[in-house]
Amino acid sequence: MAKPTNNGDGIFGEPKEKVFDRFYRGHSLSGEVATGHGLGLSIAREIARARNTSAFRWPVD
């Protein structure tokens, strides 16, 4: 079982169905396009699928 950790700012107001799309980048808290390449969550989803499990996002309160 893998237990990921998250040190990011979270995903606020983004279209939740898109956050696992390859190359999708959300916006930072300041409204600017987030840094990175938009691959992290799509790779996590593919690894989870290969292990017959699922990747999901936890809601931010």
pTM above 0.85, yes or no: no
Q: What pLDDT, on the 0 to 100 scale, is given for residue 17?
A: 78
What would the 3-class secondary structure string for the chain be? CCCCCCCCCCCCCCCCCCCCCCCCCCECCCCCECCCCCCHHHHHHHHHHHCCCCCCCCCCC
Domain borders along the chain are: 17-52
CA dist., res. 57 & res. 17, Å (int): 10
Q: Each residue's pLDDT tens digit in the chain (61 positions)?
A: 666 676 666 666 667 778 889 998 877 677 777 778 888 889 988 988 998 887 776 665 5
Q: What pLDDT, on the 0 to 100 scale, is given for residue 20?
A: 85
Task: With CA atoms as reference, report the closest residue to 27 among 14, 8, 44.
Answer: 14
Q: What pLDDT, on the 0 to 100 scale, is given for residue 57?
A: 65
Q: What pLDDT, on the 0 to 100 scale, is given for residue 34?
A: 73
